[in-house]
Amino acid sequence: MADHSTPSTGLLKAQGVSKVVKSPDGSDLTILHDVSLSLNNGEAVAIVGTSGSGKSTLLGLLAGLDQATEGEIYLFGTALSALDEDARASLRAGRIGFVFQSFQLLPGMTALENVMLPLELSNKPDPKGIATQALERVGLSARVLHYPSQLSGGEQQRVAIARAFASEPKLLFADEPTGSIDQETGVRISNLLFDLREQTGAALLLVTHDTQLADRCDQRLLLETGRLEGQA
């Protein structure tokens, strides 16, 4: 029987992870090659690299949104290969937050409703109160009833950050969180991410092209053509 216990006390650990997909001509295309890394409680790690290097694919694997072809990923001490999709979602619920480049807000819901939704899905008590407080923390108390189309890009990203931190996650995944906004707004979003990290103690795993954002992390890891080349 396979041993699915974690080999360390870390929050997240990847061992020899590879991802292979079929190319249009039917041949194997290796997106990630033998990647190993770890993330501890409260730590901030940035994965940097050029477009197409496999950063977003790696983030999806580490979060259990996709499955590795080879290797193992341990999240909160549990081997992801031992879990089906529902069990992986259950493992993430209330303990992981996400921030994406494209915000991923539901257009038919207000800012408040967007932040409330994952709280309601994970059966948190008083989701409206928690969501209201989360939006206040990111400076959007005057925008709670606005829809995404009525918000600037920076405001939409602040809603996304409020949503990610509202459940007080142990770990936050961010995929190019400053990629769709101007540089000045990006600095404010970066400050907000790290202020909330300090307040909540959440660990951060960032995929970013933003060197200023990466420089604020405890580690910078360079991914090149699917291979982790160590410290950037």
pLDDT, tens digit (0-9, with 9 covering 90-100), for 158-195 = 999 999 999 899 999 999 988 888 888 888 889 999 99
Helix axes 127-137, 153-166, angle to 10 degrees: 130
What digits encode the pLDDT tens for the residues 106-163?
999 999 999 999 999 888 899 999 999 999 999 999 999 999 999 999 999 999 999 9
The domain segmentation of the chain, as residue ranges, is 39-56+91-231
Token code pair at residue 49: 């690299």
Asked whether residue 222 carries a pLDDT value surpassing 70, the answer given is yes
Is residue 39 within 8 Å of residue 45, measured between CB atoms? Answer: yes
Percent with pLDDT over 70 in the chain: 95
Q: Check pLDDT > 60 for residue 4.
A: no
Question: What does pLDDT average to over the chain?
Answer: 90
Distances (CA, A) of 159 to 109, 162, 212: 12, 5, 22
Burial class (CB in 10 A: 0-12, 13-18, 19+), 171: buried
In the chain, alpha helices (H) = 55-62, 85-92, 111-121, 127-137, 153-166, 183-200, 211-215
Give the pLDDT confidence of 10-67 residue by residue, as tens digits.
Answer: 799 999 999 999 989 889 999 999 999 999 999 999 999 888 889 999 999 999 999 9
Residue 11 token pair = 């929050």
Query: CA–CA separation, 74 vs 5, rounded Å?
Result: 8
Share of the chain above pLDDT 90, in %: 69
Q: What is the pLDDT of residue 5?
A: 43
Q: Rounded to two decimals, what is the model's pTM?
A: 0.87
Q: Is the pLDDT of residue 204 over 80?
A: yes
The token pair that represents 176 in the structure block: 């190019």
What pLDDT does 232 receive?
55
Fold type of domain 39-56+91-231: Rossmann fold (3.40.50)
* pLDDT of 7 strictly over 50: no
Contact 173, 96 (CB under 8 A): yes
How confident is the model at residue 6, as a pLDDT? 40
